[in-house]
Amino acid sequence: YEAKKHKNSARIFASHMQDSYLNKVLVEQKLRHGLEQGELFMVYQPQVDCAGQLCGVEALVRWNNADLGFVPPDQFIPVAEASGLMPALGNFILHTTLNELAALQKKMSLNFDISINISVSQFLQPDFITILTREIMGSGIPSRMVTLEITESLFIEDLDQIIPLLKQINDMGLQISMDDFGTGYSSLSMLRQLPIDELKIDKSFVDGISDNRADQKMIQNIIAIGKNYDLVVLAEGVEDQKQMEMLQRFGCDRFQGYHFSRPLSAGDLEHFLRKAVGCSDETSQTSMV
């Protein structure tokens, strides 16, 4: 029922959206209102290492609106970006993620990375570093636990502006991950100049790993680049054991996808962590493979 409801509402949303200016304004108004009315929330998708240990979670934003239903983030984030709502939405995402996980950390020790997606306009906000610092300090989460996920579309912007910002974030102790790597604009020479820690292999390549030679080669190339630059390589959208085994054979370090877990609410994440710890003796850690 849930899935069907989501599918229908996504379709209604898409047909409402089209490219019409009026509809964009409508969605923008609903989003602004929804942000104030608490319609937005965060979910967290586990990431595991080769031993099956939980090594991170990716924070993903959700919007459930009474009229539009469940609207997928890749549809409403562009609206927020285009309409000037992204600073408010981005601040909500940072604040909620850090504080929900800090609350969880008060109940149980968390030793994993917290990955937060940062959109281009959010990253380029003049006060982004100030807000980031304030939110991290305010939450009590150590900055070394925080990873910012950026996309290659950031690099269409002025590199002379972006590189110093990335260096500053790196100096603050945060990790930086390149999301959807290989789908966009970055070049190898650019990669060399950037203080990044992780490459994320896009789901579109993982989808084809079992039977598409071009996707296999792409993944092998990304992993080789990652190894050469001493980066962690994480594959996203891993849906079955066969994909996992091939990725592992190719040398991928970390994995994320429905094969391990769907994105979970903070409450469900707590449950998930307790179950993973509870089913083993005290010396072993959270294993889920």
**Contacting positions for ligand C2E (CB under 6 A):** 45, 59-61, 72-74, 77, 93, 117-119, 149, 179-180, 203, 236-239, 256-258, 263
Q: Which is nearer to ligand C2E, 78 or 277 (CB)?
A: 78
Pick what 74 binds: ligand C2E, Mg ion, none; C-beta below 5 to 8 Å, kind-dependent. ligand C2E
286 forms part of the interface with Mg ion (CB under 5 A): no
From 100, 135, 149, 253, residue interacting with Mg ion (rule: CB under 5 A):
149
Q: Which is nearer to ligand C2E, 90 or 273 (CB)?
A: 90
What is the rounded distance in angstroms from the CA atom of residue 268 to the CA atom of residue 289?
Answer: 18
- Residue count, binding to Mg ion (CB under 5 A): 6
Pick what 61 binds: Mg ion, ligand C2E, none; C-beta below 5 to 8 Å, kind-dependent. ligand C2E
Provide the minimum distance between the beta carbon of 95 and ligand C2E in the complex, in angstroms, as a whole number.
12
Pick what 263 binds: ligand C2E, Mg ion, none; C-beta below 5 to 8 Å, kind-dependent. ligand C2E
Pick what 28 binds: ligand C2E, Mg ion, none; C-beta below 5 to 8 Å, kind-dependent. none
Query: Residue 166 to residues 87, 105, 140, 284, 285: CA-CA distances in angstroms?
Result: 18, 27, 22, 36, 33
186 forms part of the interface with Mg ion (CB under 5 A): no
